[in-house]
């Protein structure tokens, strides 16, 4: 993953996501998930392009089941847009870059 995106664990989720000073795109993913791998370069690109505007957090669900369960992640990829500790939008399944950017911009206006 790009340096603009950060790996988040169950232990760091609160500090990195819920207490973040800017909106956070949280990508719940798994290494065995084909759609997650298809989405990976899109999330990387968004992390680079929107650096400073949003934070991008990556949560690998197999190693961080508490965070996944807390947000009812039943399938991957699941993306959350979190601002001020509140979920503004939930996106399930792989998305195209344009659609994902639109959903992010709508949520953080």
Largest CA distance in the chain: 34
Mean pLDDT confidence for 18-34 = 97
pLDDT tens across 42-82, in order?
999 999 999 999 999 999 999 999 999 999 999 999 999 99
Average pLDDT over all residues of the chain: 94
* pLDDT higher than 80, residue 31: yes
* pLDDT higher than 90, residue 108: no
Single pTM value for the model: 0.94
Catalytic positions: 33, 36
pLDDT of 28 reads 98
Domain 5-107 has CATH 3.30.1320.10: no
Lowest mean pLDDT among 10-19, 51-60, 80-89, 100-109: 100-109
pLDDT of 2 reads 52
* pLDDT higher than 50, residue 1: no
pLDDT tens across 45-54, in order?
999 999 999 9
Kindly list the domain boundaries of the chain, sorted by start residue. 5-107
- Buried/exposed code over 46-84 (b: 16+ C-beta within 10 A; e: otherwise): bbeebeeebbbbbbbbeebeebbeebebeebbbbbbbee
């Amino acid at each position: 993953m790009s340096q603009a995106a950060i790996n988040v664990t169950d232990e760091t989720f609160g500090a990195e996501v819920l207490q973040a000073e800017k909106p956070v795109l949280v990508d719940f993913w798994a290494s065995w998930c084909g759609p997650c791998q298809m989405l990976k370069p899109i999330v990387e690109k968004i992390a680079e392009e929107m650096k400073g505007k949003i934070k991008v957090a990556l949560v690998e669900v197999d190693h961080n089941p508490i965070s996944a369960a807390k947000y009812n992640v039943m399938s991957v990829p699941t993306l959350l847009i979190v601002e001020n500790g509140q979920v503004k939008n939930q996106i399930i399944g792989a998305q195209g870059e344009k659609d994902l950017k639109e959903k992010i911009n709508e949520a953080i206006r």
